[in-house]
DNA sequence: CAGCTCATGAGAGTTCACTCTCACGAAGCT
DNA sequence: AGCTTCGTGAGAGTGAACTCTCATGAGCTG
């Protein structure tokens, strides 16, 4: 995957006039296309660097994207926002991610799969995820809300419970989701590898075990 | 507990010769005392700033401690190390922290108490803890191992299980401790407040619930 | 074609985390 | 008392995260 987004030729940056309802309306012209391409180039460059396990800095991304640092900051308020978007683009949707277990109604099986999936993905993009967490954890003032990809996954994995536990005891289901938000997370992975000294595989296995336990307990108690 | 350690007067900085086994041996002299005092002053200043909820920077700490920034870096390799020590000093020992439940043999009760205790403490020193996590999560190369105060607490809280679950199924006990390491943590607190949008009280309550669930499940299964 | 708009680049400036060097001066030694 | 040791301060330097300003030039408009 190249750094510059050359899937469109240079010609595309010129605007085209479009006839609509008898009025001549300017289609998103060169300026818009240009902005789109610049933005894409920056994100692509960031993603490139992320995968290369090198340290991600704004100067490095800007240089790789062939834009000035000032321009990069025009499109993203800070490094964390940029990384967040770059990472987000690599995640499949919850439905896609959980496709292999879509036939199962067993919430425990589904959540185990979701946990493994998320943590392995985090592991792959470790450097960038660490940078995002590092930045988000100190400055929660500006709308630097973390993406919260985990929530979509958890909701989707627990969908079978909506009709059962969710009906009988909605508060319990909500609590279960909160419980899982702590475990099905990058923070959990890093806690297990960095502090507990586990190998990545062992860390994932441990988190999966925890997620299963919590879910099973909630179902049993619910 | 006071911030500055003025329990020793200025006079103590002069060294004293001590008679030992007929030989005149230099006691830790002025140089050593001086170093001790400098180190203490830096940590005290850091603790002062930590409690003031202001942002903790090395220049600020150095200024407050009345030393140059260079000196601060001579005593602590980086800001994170300094903050870690400053925070550590505010934690009671696990035995002290869990004194109110020392008579209980119920691991669930004990772990619930420990969780609440830790998370409330973290909440108090939020700024510093966030800074430490932020720093540790990106650079785990240098001996920047996190203090791991949680492990002592968890071990102590689960002590009653050593004779029961620990005998029957040591692997299960080890797994339980790993499970809890993820939940009884500053990271869990910040996940619940920052991402789930819970109030500090609700976040603590949620984590306590999770810890209880996990522990109870391990005991029941063990 | 002339003119205005606006994305971009260049570069200076600020703050902080560090690092390194040099010189001062007090503490300790003989 | 004189010499040495060494804790410390001062200050320069690097690199990164941002912020701001100004000039350029390409693109659209009349």
pLDDT above 90 as % of chain B: 76
pLDDT score for A142: 54
Which comes out higher in pLDDT, residue A34 or B165? B165
Residues of A near B (Cβ–Cβ under 8 Å) read 130-131, 133-138, 140, 145-146, 148, 151, 175, 178-179, 181-183, 185, 187-188, 190-192, 194-196, 198, 206-207, 209-210, 213-214, 216-218
pLDDT at B100 over 50: yes
Split at pLDDT 50, 70, 90, the class of B141 is: low
For chain B, give the mean pLDDT. 87
Mean pLDDT lowest among A18-22, B63-67, B96-100, B203-207: A18-22
pLDDT above 70 as % of chain B: 85
The spacing between the Cα labelled CA in B123 and the C1' in D20, in angstroms, equals 37
pLDDT above 70 as % of chain A: 85
Q: What string of H, E and C letters represents the secondary structure of A177-222? A: HHHHHHHCCHHHHHHHHHHCCCCHHHHHHHHHHHHHHHHHHHHHHC
Where would I find the H helices in A76-192? 79-88, 94-97, 107-124, 126-138, 149-157, 159-162, 165-168, 170-183, 186-190
- The pLDDT tens digits of the residues spanning A97-115 come to 999 999 999 999 999 999 9
pLDDT score for A52: 85
pLDDT at B65 over 50: yes
For B57, the 3-state DSSP assignment is coil
Shortest Cα distance from B30 to chain A (angstroms)? 38
pLDDT along chain A (222 residues), means of 10: 34 34 43 89 96 91 97 97 95 97 97 98 95 90 73 98 96 98 98 96 98 98 86
Q: The tokens of B122 are what? A: 């973290």
State the Cα–Cα distance between residues B13 and B36, nearest whole angstrom. 9
Shortest Cα distance from B182 to chain A (angstroms)? 6
Whether B68 CB is under 7 Å from strand D: yes
- The pLDDT tens digits of the residues spanning B167-177 come to 999 999 999 99
pLDDT score for B140: 72
Which bases in strand D are touched by protein, i.e. have an atom under 7 Å from a CB? 6-12, 15-21, 27-29
pLDDT score for B128: 95
pLDDT score for A31: 78
B19: number of Cβ within 10 Å: 8
pLDDT score for A207: 98
Residues from chain B that touch A206, judged by Cβ atoms under 8 A, are: 175, 178-179
- The pLDDT tens digits of the residues spanning B7-39 come to 333 333 333 333 333 333 344 466 788 889 999
Residues from chain A that touch B188, judged by Cβ atoms under 8 A, are: 182, 187
């Amino acid at each position: 995957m190249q750094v510059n987004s050359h899937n469109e030729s240079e010609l595309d940056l010129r605007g085209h006039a479009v006839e609509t309802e008898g009025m001549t309306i300017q289609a998103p012209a060169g300026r818009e296309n240009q902005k789109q391409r610049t933005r894409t180039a920056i994100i692509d460059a960031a993603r490139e660097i992320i995968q290369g396990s090198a340290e991600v800095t704004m100067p490095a991304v800007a240089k790789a994207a062939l834009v000035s640092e000032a321009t990069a900051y025009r499109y993203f308020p800070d490094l964390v926002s940029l990384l967040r978007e770059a990472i987000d683009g690599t995640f499949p949707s919850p439905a896609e991610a959980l496709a292999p277990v879509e036939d199962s109604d067993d919430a425990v099986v589904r959540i185990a799969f979701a946990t493994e999936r998320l943590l392995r993905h985090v592991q792959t993009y470790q450097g960038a995820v660490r940078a995002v967490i590092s930045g988000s954890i100190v400055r929660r003032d500006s709308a630097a809300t973390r993406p919260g990809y985990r929530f979509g996954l958890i909701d989707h994995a627990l969908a079978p419970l909506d009709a059962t536990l969710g009906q009988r005891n909605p508060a319990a289901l909500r609590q279960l989701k909160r419980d899982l938000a702590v475990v099905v997370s990058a923070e959990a992975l890093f806690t297990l590898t960095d502090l507990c000294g586990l190998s990545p595989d062992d860390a994932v296995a441990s988190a999966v075990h925890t997620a299963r336990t919590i879910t099973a307990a909630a179902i049993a108690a619910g």
